Structures are given as C-alpha cells and as structure tokens.
Structure 1
C-alpha cells in the first residue's frame, strides 16, 4: 500500500479520481484535469497546423483547452510557449453544435447537396471566425457560402485586413478544428471536405503572418483527404502526433490522484512524496520522479496494485503488464484505454476483492484490459467499420499466424466482395461511416493498411500478430495470453 494510506483509503481515492466516463465529449477540461505530457508540446505550438491522433489520445481535450483562456495560459507556462498567451482562439468546427460559428453535420450535408464547394464553405467559416460583418449579418450558412462565392475580392481583402489587425494587436488569430469524423457520413464527401480544409489551412500558413489554423485529425482521415490534395505533403512536414509514452500515462494517473479526489484524500496522497507544487487554481503538479522516472513510478504503482500479476514474477509485473497489454501494433496506448482499464480494475476489486491487501487486485487489472479491448473494438468499428469485417474471418484462430493463412481465410470468406458491397451501401448500423480500405481486392495491401492502423503487426519471422487490445475482443487466441472475452 502507499505509505501512510490504507488500501481502503487508497482505493477510495482511485474511485474518486478516475473518470467514470473516459469519452472526451462528456468531460469539460479543467485545471484539475489538465495534464501536460512531454510529448504534446509541439502539438500546441501555434505554427503547427495539423495535429494527428487516433481515438482517445487527447485531440478534443486540447481543442477545448486551447479555446479556454485560463487553460491556454496554464499550458503556455508549463510548456514554456509564450506565444500561447498572445492567441485569439475561435472554433472553426467541433462536436458541439454552434451554428453561429460553423454549420453542423446536417447543414453541412445540405450545403453539399445543394452544390456548395468545400472551398467556399470553409472560407465562409474563416470569415465568420474573423468577425467579417458581411458574413455575421447573414442569417443562414447557405447565404454566407453564396456571398463568399460571389465576392472573392472582398474575401481576400477581409483576410488581409484581419491579418494586419492581428499584427497591430500583437496576437495570432487561431482557428481550431476538431471532430472531423462528424463532417459527413460518405467517404468521398468527407475526403472532399478535409481536402478543402487542408488547402485553406496551408493558404493561411503561407500567405498570412498572423492567421493560423490548427486541425486535429485522425491519421487515416489526413492521409485519405490528402490524396485529393497534392500539396498536403507541405502540411505533413509541419504536423505533430499526439503520442503517449508509458511514463506519460502513469504521470497522468498520478496527476489525477493528486488533483481529482476529495480534498483530504488527494492531500494525503500528495503528502506521501515530497516535491508536489501548487502553481495555480488549486492545481498541483507531481514531482518530477512521478512524471518521468519509470523506476519511481513502478515503486508507487506497486504500492497501489502489488508487484505481480499473480503469485510471482512469472505472471508479469503490474507496472509494465498493464500498458503492454493495451498497446496497439504501433506500440501506442491511448490514455482513454489506460484510464478505462484502471477504472474497471477498481470496480472489480471493490466488488470481488474488497479485503485485498492492495488497493487494486491483479485480476481487476486483467478484467480491465478485457473491457478496454471491447471498447477499443467498438471505437474502431465506428471509425473504420471495414476493419471489423476484415478481422472477423480470423475469429477462433491463434496468433501469431502466417500471412498465407490469413489470406486463405479471407479468400474462403470472399472478403473483397464483402468490402466492396459495404462501400457501395454504407454501413446500415452506423450512419457516420466515412472510410474503407484503399484496395479491397489486394489482400497484401490490406494487411499493410491494418499494420499502419496498429490493428496488426508483423513479427521478425514474418508471421502476423494482433495486439491484445484488439485480439481479445475479436476472439482470437494466443497461447499464454490474456483470455478472450467470453460471450454472455
């Protein structure tokens, strides 16, 4: 147990601190939840236009934080990015319905159906973000898009005027874009919209000094939209990726324990190790050891969850076992999966091992990984439904598996025909479908795309593997691995 705190008290702190829902759309960022992992500094630089990241890595969190003056100021101080304090930030697109700032999905669909060009649409959003009176006074987006299309000279003059005004004020006008997977349910239209947005983002970067876009986007959408945009490579060299190291993940966890629990329990936790700093707004920064030192983190997590995933070291060490079994094929773990697994672990411990001599039981961690796997597969089904179709024929198999065996299962199940049918009719279960594989008829290329997405990985001997975060919920076995999720 953690020094000075009983397992029961520490478990209660975990219960208070870990979010009940790890979906970014349900939680508003606050000083208590704001965490600044070392890997994310570049992504917040106003000069970085494209910020790539998969589900649950922090795109929406940073989008919302940059729109908040107080949170942006905290990030500027901790990342030492002074320019963030001289930002005027506006939303150009997001999950929240804000029709005065940008058209929602239904309006976007209607605009495209009526023949609106993505370039005119995004330019209209830009002019509204810049407070151009002619656009603000128009009541509908259809009228705004029409005005933009019919007044190209006025558009250019308005952009130049806003750029000069920002220079005089000593600020950067930053327009932020998030939730682009909500743009349109059809892949071709979503690609057109992303392409138009990226073109305008590059134009602002190249032709103005003080007007900037920051586009939070999934890597597959950036790649797909970029194929319709020859100059997208110029944005690739200016892009940042939201990644999380193991120490970043545990640093987030300890930050939550020191900030999000009840005042008394969080204070008790902070008192166990010297070096916590109170910077602003009752926000406490963990000591460096809890942020970047794996050995110190391991010691603290061992006091919380015990050293091993069973009776001895042969079952694995809890500190490394948890992230290792949540990694995708690119060796990335999303904080959403990490926190979700820990939340489940605490619940299992409370329900089944309340008298355990640590705050978290290793069986809870094991079940937490199973639950996180199910959630991750549901997420990828929403984002990329064709992935589930491609992996489904492997159900009941064991990994690692030869590539020839994978292809044989696909051929027997007529996978390419299924993928083509799905692409034509869309997904009847989820109307937000936007993407399909590049080449459904080319099975080696399909394997390559699954590897790029992190769903598969290739071992040194050439065989294919699925990381546990996907394998478990897809009911694919591995000798000695975490058990597959049993059907109810």
Structure 2
C-alpha cells in the first residue's frame, strides 16, 4: 500500500480532528478515548484532588469515568483493574454531566442563597454527599435547606448512613466515587468560592479517612486549589495525594496520532499501515505502537512527513515539531489539548484553501494563521471561564510586551479596571472573580498564577502568544499580530 499524499493527509486531519476538539460538547468515545501516560495517577480512585487548567481534561475524564465501557478501556490501558470495579455518581458538575433526572446537588443560585442565609460549606457538601448516595431520609426532604439542616442536626445519623453505604459497597467488591467538577461555577464571589471549595475538601478528606470504599474525586483549577483555605485537620494529606492533568509534547503528539489512526476512513487505515502495527481492541478502536505515542524521535518523523521540517524554507524560522506546541503554551507552560487539535485541524483547512499544491499537508504560513485562530479560541474560553482575566488583558490592547508592572498598572488605572471589575455582574464574571480587584499588582500576580501572564526574571510582565495575539498586543521579534497571508 502506498503512503498518503499531502491532500489525503489534509482530508484525514480535518475529518478526524473536527469533532475531537471539545470535551464540553463532544463526549469521549470508544475510538477517541486517549489515555496519556501522565494521567494515570489522576484516575486512581484514592486520589482525591485532580488539578487541571481549562482544556486539560477535567470534564473529559469526569464524563469518561461515568461510562463503564470507557472505564474498562482506561483500566486496561493503565493496568489498574480497580477502575473496572467502580460505581460513579456525580456530586457536582454541569447539568449535562448528570443525565436524566434531578441532579444530586444544588445549582449556583441556590448555593448563593443558602450561603447568604448562613449555611456552612461543610454542611452543604455533607447534604450533597447523602443525596448523591441516595440516603432515603434525605431524599424524602423537600428542598436543599431542609436537607442541610437535617444533616447538620443529625450527625450520628449522617455517620450511620455513610457506614451503611460503605458496608454495602464493600460487600459488592466496589469502590464508590463521588465526582465533583465545574467548581469555578460555584459562586461569583471568589472568597465565597474558595470557602466552598475548602468545605468540599474537608468533607472529601473525611470520607477518605473514615470509610474504606467511599471516595471523592475533585477536579479543580490549580489556582482555586491554591487559594482555598486549608486550615483544617489533616489538610496536608490532600496535597500529598493530589494529581495534576499535564500534557507533555509527547502526550500531545500521541493524542494527535491516536485521533488520526482511529478515524473510520480509508486514509486512517493507510496511516495505520504507514506508522507500524496498531493493535485492534474491537468496536473499531485501535491502539497505536508505543513509539508513535511516546517516543520523541519517532513522533518527529511522523509529524515532519505531515508538516515538513521547518517553519519556513530553512531552519532559521524554527522546526515545526517544536514550534507548534511551544507557541500554544500558556504562561505556566501548559498546552490545552483541544487548542492543539484545533490548531492542526485549522492549519490543514487553510493549507487546502490557500496552498493546495504545497508538498506537505501543512504549510508553515497556514500553521501561523492557525495559531492566531487558536489564540481567539483560547481567549473565548478565558472569557467563558475567567471573565475578569479577559477584561484585564483586553485593557492592554495595542501595547507591547514586555512591560514594567508600573506600566500595566497605568493602563489599568487609565481604563478604570478596578471599577469595571467591581461592577461586573455575576453573569459577566463567569466562574469566580479575582481575589483582590482593588490591588493591580495583586491582579498581576494572580494572572501569572493562572498562566495568562508571565513574569520575567527582571520583573517585567509578558504574555504568552496564545493570549497576546488575540488581544492585539505586540512583542518585538515575536509572532506578528496580523496573520501572515
């Protein structure tokens, strides 16, 4: 069988990646589920806290863990048979993660009302746990206020209920996982959100320490984990067994090649033949050779066959294999896998439209154009998840980085950032607000923690390309703000 032509590669890339980019709207499937080596520990039932930035896989894994067949795949891939013996219940998340029926948790408006009425976060989450576990006495109560009050006023009954479910779960040979996701939508006020997350941590830790089969798994943004108070007994044990959803370059390329090899087209079949022996697992799923998903040298060979070796006519413009992931990194060095797949897919489409006779499937100028489009997508995600951060960076439009913190402060004072953040509605804040809207230097530090900004060794403020380009902010010697045409 002959190899794929440049045009056939483009067809495969656009078709295989078009629906594989968004975990929020596309559920993980048998073909598309990819198990990066770095995520193994995050799925361990005994790991309570899983930290991950936007797009790194929090919602993706929260969805996958609720599907018995996908858990079987993960169990086999990670050689973790315990994953196949789980019962999974959603303790908090987006409505679409719950499926049919009423969710086992209150919504954001209800939470705000409960907290304003004096309900403690720990009591709220304790009632959520009993509701998710299906404790009859709690389910029979009408409304969250009554459930919380019953849980608070009946500590012995609460403990007995947990012991009963724990015993039944153990007799079935299972582990029961309570999933908590989308915590950035708990409360608009950041301090209240931090207290709510702290209360959840306390309840989750209690489950881990007092039962043998009941476990919470909390997917949370790293900055929310850091800012949540942990002044409670044994809090250090949370950090000791926390895991992070990280994506190395090898993981990103492994994900790309996995999606290409698991498409249903004849081009995908040819790609599998070209790249080695793919192991069929049934139901149309194939597992790539180890070197294709884990060996840098082999991955570079495969990608160079797709994109060519350089980001220009020679090496002076950079090597494609390293250039693409490096320019998609945020300030913490993280690359969102959905942004990565979007960039490659977009580059294939642009190449087909403008450089159809190019020898490689991806033209280097099309890759640069795709970087601008990916920056727009990343900023749209930022506005959706952390609206205040987008407002802050948007007020630097037209500037050039790096710049001194005092210059950033001057821009923000001139544009009235503190007033804008103070008057933002709950809907505009998206998720939760900053910790201190009045202190511009504290805002810079928080944006650095989020990966939206970076801080150079001399203290100057910079922006990663994946945000800079979309906000029309320049950098001397950097990727131009205007797409190359």
TM-score computed with the length of structure 1 as normaliser: 0.91
In 2, Cα distance between equivalents of 1:431 and 1:449: 15
Alignment of 1:448-487 (within 5 A): 448-460=445-457, 462-485=459-482
Partner of 2:246: 243
Counterparts of 2:240 and 2:328, CA distance in 1? 29
Checking the alignment, whether the CA contact within 8 Å between 1:184 and 1:432 is kept in structure 2 is: no
Q: Which one of 343, 359, 362 corresponds to residue 360 of structure 1? A: 362
**Deviations 1:240-287, CA, capped at 9 Å, x for gaps:** 11000001000000000011x234222111111222111243211111
Native 8 Å contact 1:416 1:440 kept in 2: no
Deviations 1:13-66 (A, max 9, x none): 111100347332101111111101111111001111000011100000100111
SS of equivalent to 1:192: helix
Match of 1:126?
Answer: 129
The one of 325, 341, 344 equivalent to 1:342 is 344
2:196 to 186, 193, 213: 193
The match for 1:287 is: 289
Cα separation, 2, equivalents of 1:206 and 1:9: 55
Counterpart-to-counterpart distance in 1, 2:251 and 2:86: 27
- Partner of 1:77 in structure 2? 76
**Over residues 336-390 of structure 1, what are the superposed CA-to-partner deviations in whole Å (9 max), with x where a residue is unaligned?**
1111111221221222222222222222211111111122223223333333344
CA distance in 2, matches of 1:110, 1:460: 45
> Which residue in the other structure is 1:430 paired with?
428
What residue is the counterpart of 1:152 in the other structure?
155
CA distance in 2, matches of 1:437, 1:344: 36
Aligned pairs (5 A) from 1:257-406: 257-259=260-262, 261-401=263-403, 403=404, 406=405
Q: How far did residue 413 of structure 1 move?
A: 4.0
- The question of 1:140 aligning with 2:143 is answered yes
Give 1:178 shift.
0.6
**1:414 to 2:413 alignment:** yes
Q: Distance in 1 between matches of 2:421 and 2:454?
A: 25
- 1:50–1:217 CA contact under 8 A, matched in 2: yes
Q: 1:162 to 1:275 in 2, by over 3 A?
A: same
Provide the secondary structure at the position in 1 that maps to 2:243. strand
Q: How well do the aligned residues superpose, as a CA RMSD in angstroms?
A: 2.4
Tell me, what secondary structure is at the counterpart of 1:284? strand
The number of equivalent residue pairs is 479
| Long gaps (5+) in structure 2 | none
Change (3 A) 1:372 1:88: same
Q: CA 1:138–1:437 in structure 2 vs 1: closer, same or farther (change >3 Å)?
A: closer
CA distance change for structure 1 residues 355 and 412 in 2, over 3 Å: closer, same or farther? closer
Change (3 A) 1:108 1:361: same
The answer to whether the Cα contact below 8 Å between 1:326 and 1:333 also exists between their aligned partners in 2 is yes
Change (3 A) 1:107 1:387: closer
Question: Larger deviation: 122-131 or 449-458?
Answer: 449-458
